[in-house]
Amino acid sequence: MFIVESYTVAVSLILVTMICWGSWANTQKLASKEWSFPLFYWDYAIGVMLFSLILGLTAGSSGTEGQGFIANLAQASTDVIISALIGGIIFNIANLLLVAAIDIAGLAVAFPIAIGLALVLGVVDNYIQRPVGDPTFLFLGVALVTIAIILNAISYKRLQENRQDDTSGGIAKGIGISVAAGILMGFFYGFIAKTLPENFAEPTIGLLTPYSSVFIFSLGVLFSNFIFNTFFMYKPVSGGDPVTYGDYFSKGTPKLHLIGLLGGFIWCTGLSLNIIASGSAGPAISYGLGQGATMVAAAWGVFVWKEFAGAPQGTNKLIGAMFLCFIIGLSLIIYARG
């Protein structure tokens, strides 16, 4: 299977993770005018599972190092499989809340708050499990990311106070759902990290390779969707109209389904590369740097979707300070391992 041993290559893959994780939600934005997010999310979850299976049968089954995808799945212990499934379940409810928050508040708000908070909690959780990297630089970087989250929340508050036609449920709802998503999102990665050996080239008996772990994780996402997404379909958190399973089949066009599948492919590409890179970078740095996706998503929201258009004077300075804190914070996270 494909394994990364160089920290430089690992960082390069994690930077691709940032782009993927920060960009997949654009597919939701593209579909949102015709397709409610719970229906979009079904295709997204299917896309995550399909891509993880394809990657496992290709990159995860080639080469001479490590253990092949099918053979590794066959020898995995029950508790390890359960851990990967739990990671998928936790991620799924967190991501559904994130998608709802995007629907309410937009990319430029939901991502920095939810994923920024997830970065802080996830780095701490993963560092406790496997302390790789200089804690001074690592947690100083995390502190700057925390400041960026606060600056974004202040910017969002200023924007909403300046609008007289706010129909999204107000400031508290948009930020509240983002915070709930971030708390849950901060802990899913640790359940995946527990399933992985320290040496991917010589995996410990009973543990999973990155490819197998991501595949089982994706099954947790898809199967839990029947519970969590069904709730969101009939009780929309974002305040839209309820939808049914019949709507998925009767109203969905090939284009809309493909957009959702593409979103799943993009996100799963990011996760797969991140897990592969964690063997060299360590889980805390790999996860923390990958969640720099926050900055990518905020850039999409600010510069492409114009979500802060009409904000009061001075808001642009806050947004600029937010990006600066993110950039410096992420640089320190990279340096913590180098």
Tens-place pLDDT, residues 260-271: 999 999 999 999
Instruction: Concatenate the DSSP letters of all residues of 134-184 into one string.
Output: -HHHHHHHHHHHHHHHHHHHHHHHHHHHT-S---S-HHHHHHHHHHHHHHH
Higher-confidence residue: 171 or 25? 25
Structure confidence at residue 238 (pLDDT): 67
Give the residue carrying structure tokens 């929309």: 236
Burial 263-273 (b: 16+ CB within 10 A, else e): bbbbbbbbbbb
- If you ran DSSP here, which 8-state letter would residue 66 be given? S
Higher-confidence residue: 111 or 177? 177
**What dihedral angle (degrees, nearest 10) is formed by the CA atoms of 284, 285, 290, 291?**
60
Does the pLDDT value for residue 237 go beyond 80?
no
Residues 274, 14: contact at Cβ < 8 Å? yes
* Amino acid at position 80, single letter: V
Q: Highest-confidence range of 116-130, 146-160, 251-265, by mean pLDDT?
A: 251-265
pLDDT band of residue 309 (cuts 50, 70, 90) is confident
Distances (CA, A) of 76 to 148, 192, 203: 40, 13, 11
Structure confidence at residue 167 (pLDDT): 47
**Rounded to the nearest 5 degrees, what angle is found at the Cα of 133, between the Cα atoms of 130 and 138?**
105
User: What's the CA gap between 265 and 60, in Å, rounded?
Assistant: 16
Distance of CA 315 to the CA centre of its chain: 27
Domain spans, the chain: 7-335
Tens-place pLDDT, residues 143-201: 998 898 788 778 877 876 776 555 445 567 878 888 999 999 999 999 999 999 999 99
- What average pLDDT is seen over the chain? 89
Provide the residue count of the chain. Answer: 338
Residues 127, 133: contact at Cβ < 8 Å? yes
